[in-house]
Amino acid sequence: MDDKPIDKEEILNELSEFHKLDYDYADGRILGSMCTEAHPFAKEVYCKFLDTNLGDPGLFKGTQLIENEVIKSIGELLSIENPYGHIVTGGTEANLMAIRAARNHARKYKGIVNGEIIIPESAHFSFKKAADMLNLKIVEAALDDNYKIDVESLKEVISDSTVAIVAIAGTTELGLIDPIEEISKIALENNIYFHVDAAFGGFSIPFLRRCGYDLPVFDFSLEGVCSITVDPHKMGLAPIPAGGILFREEEYLQVMAVDSPYLTVKTQSTIVGTRLGASSAATYAVMKYFGKEGYTKIACNLMANTMFFKEGLEEIGYEVICEPELNIVAFNHPKMDTSVLAEKLEELGWKVSVAKCPVAIRVVLMNHIKLNHLKELLEDLKDIY
Ligand code: 0PR
């Protein structure tokens, strides 16, 4: 730090030099991000609430009401009237809270000490962090030929130590939806906590269903589903950080509660203490601003772009890994190594992301990737071919 104060202008100039090194969503070159530029209105609201702290909600009663409202309206999208939950920093924290709730619940009611969680091979790496922090063993369920949880393989790995089963509604790499209805039944039959990670799909599947896409049910209407992660900072167009965790029962929050004696509330269930109210306010604003109609338009438009891109790739001769269910396309060149193709695209200024399972270039068709960017990308892919 400098000894003397520095003029604002000089600081801003310095900062913008750093900022110039960042990629800009608006250039349409970021192909592998699930985040995108937040809506300007959401950003405006975010700034107004920057000083609010939901870690001590008695001091920010209004902002607490906003968080409650946001959880309730996300709950409505997920077919639950009275959800319990929080707006947190993202999918990682939401998944961590779900697994912590499952572990504590199993410890309290079933006496499980050395627990296991069953996750599909396609699960986001946040579950590995959760298992590590919560001292749980990860057991992987295999995927079927369509890259979705193989239900038979899942049944085989259930044990007396299983504290949670996880399935994904919108996988990170391929955007696929696991057979959640079937898994919900299995979880119920075996009396095991079932968490659905809809960090990506939660803000699009309900809207795509509204406009006629035949997508499977993944939400609380399935009796076995105990919690769902759904991130406003992905398809919800809210500013980072905004993740959402919703629980069916208040008990799941209570089993995580620790005493917080000197705060305005007596217990706290979230992982983070001091906690941004701005995330809740911005999410509230953007949800009201778009409404179901607005989100439906966005989701359908992104699916149209997805199909345009997929068909364009196939016309050139690229191999698309699977029929897209959500706005992600993964593909390979029939002969060229994926890493070589990735390198060539990087040389042309595209920021690509390579999936591991299976190895393929993956493009997440977020709002910042417009039709003209896709046309340019297809032109480049044609030249490379
Ligand atoms: N669950 C799923 C299904 C996810 O895809 C992700 C993140 C998470 C949980 C974790 O969410 P947070 O990152 O909010 O904690 N999916 C993206 C990924 O890891 C996130 C991302 C976003 C990556 C922007 C890159 C990027 O530029 O691939």
Spell 149-173 as b/e; 16+ CB within 10 A means b: bbbebbeeebeebbbbbbbbbbbbb
What's the CA-to-centroid distance between 35 and ligand 1, angstroms? 8
* H or E, element range at 226: none
Q: Whose CA is nearest to atom 10 of ligand 1?
A: 91
Structure confidence at residue 110 (pLDDT): 98
Contacts for 315 with CB less than 8 Å, ≥ 6 apart: none
Residue 242 contacts residue 283 (beta carbons within 8 Å): yes
For residue 170, the ligand 1 atom closest to its alpha carbon is: 3
Rounded to the nearest angstrom, the distance between the alpha carbon of 352 and the centre of ligand 1 is 15
Note the pLDDT of residue 297: 97
Number of compact structural domains in the chain: 2
CATH of the domain at 355: 3.90.1150.10
At which of 287, 321, 343 does a domain end?
287
Q: Is the CB of 200 under 6 A from ligand 1?
A: yes
The answer to whether the CB of 33 is under 6 A from ligand 1 is yes
Co-location of 149 and 181 in the same domain:
yes
Residues 128 and 271 both lie in one domain: yes
Residue 211 located in a structural domain: yes
Distance, CA of 295 to CA of 236 (rounded, Å): 8
Host domain of residue 309? 8-38+292-384
User: What is the full per-residue pLDDT of the chain (385 aa) written as tens digits?
Assistant: 999 999 999 999 999 999 999 999 999 999 999 999 999 999 999 999 999 999 999 999 999 999 999 999 999 999 999 999 999 999 999 999 999 999 999 999 999 999 999 999 999 999 999 999 999 999 999 999 999 999 999 999 999 999 999 999 999 999 999 999 999 999 999 999 999 999 999 999 999 999 999 999 999 999 999 999 999 999 999 999 999 999 999 999 999 999 998 889 999 999 999 999 999 999 999 999 999 999 999 999 999 999 999 999 999 999 999 999 999 999 999 999 999 999 999 999 999 999 999 999 999 999 999 999 999 999 999 999 9
Same domain, 88 and 167: yes
DSSP per residue, 50-96: TT-BTTSGGG-HHHHHHHHHHHHHHHHHTT-SS-EEEEESSHHHHHH
Helix axes 371-384, 278-316, angle to 10 degrees: 40
For residue 202 and ligand 1, the question of a CB distance below 6 A is answered with no
241 pocket-lining for ligand 1 (C-beta < 6 Å): no
pLDDT of the residue at 317: 98
d(CA 67, CA 75): 12
Nearest residue (by CA) to ligand 1, atom 24, is 33
Q: What pLDDT was estimated at residue 248?
A: 98
CA 91–ligand 1 middle distance (angstroms): 7
Residue 256, in any domain of the structure:
yes
User: Is residue 353 in contact with ligand 1, taking CB distance under 6 Å?
Assistant: no
Cα of 231 from ligand 1 centre, angstroms: 9
pLDDT confidence of residue 349: 97
- Co-location of 150 and 249 in the same domain: yes
Q: Whose CA is nearest to atom 25 of ligand 1?
A: 33
Cis peptide before 241 (omega within 30 of 0): yes
Within-domain flag for 320: yes
* Residues 227 and 326 reside in one and the same domain: no
Instruction: Find the 57 Cα to ligand 1 centroid distance in Å.
Output: 28
Q: Is the CB of 98 under 6 A from ligand 1?
A: no
Instruction: State whether the beta carbon of 126 lies less than 6 angstroms from ligand 1.
Output: yes
CA distance 162 to 118: 7
Ligand 1 pocket member 120 (CB < 6 A): no
Q: In this structure, are 258 and 316 located in the same domain?
A: no
Q: What is the CATH number of the domain that holds 276?
A: 3.40.640.10
Residue 3 lies in a domain: no
| Residue 179 shares a structural domain with residue 69 | yes
* Domain identity same for 261 and 315: no
CA of 188 to the centre of ligand 1 (A): 28
Q: How distant, in Å, are the alpha carbons of 182, 230, 339, 355, 385 from that of 95?
A: 21, 10, 31, 21, 40
User: Which of 23, 31, 33, 34, when mutated, tests ligand 1's pocket best, judged by the most ligand atoms within 8 Å of its CB?
Assistant: 34
Burial class of residue 302, CB neighbours in 10 A (0-12, 13-18, 19+): buried
- Rounded distance between C-alpha atoms, residue 28 and residue 167, angstroms: 31
The number of beta carbons lying within 10 Å of the beta carbon of residue 347 is 10
Q: Residue 168: CB within 6 Å of ligand 1?
A: yes
Same domain, 236 and 300: no
Evaluated on CA atoms 223, 249, 167, 293, the torsion sign reads positive
Cα–Cα nearest to 48, from 236, 281, 213, 255: 281
> Does any domain span residue 2?
no
> Is this prediction's pTM over 0.95?
yes
Residues in the chain: 385
DSSP one-letter code for 149: B
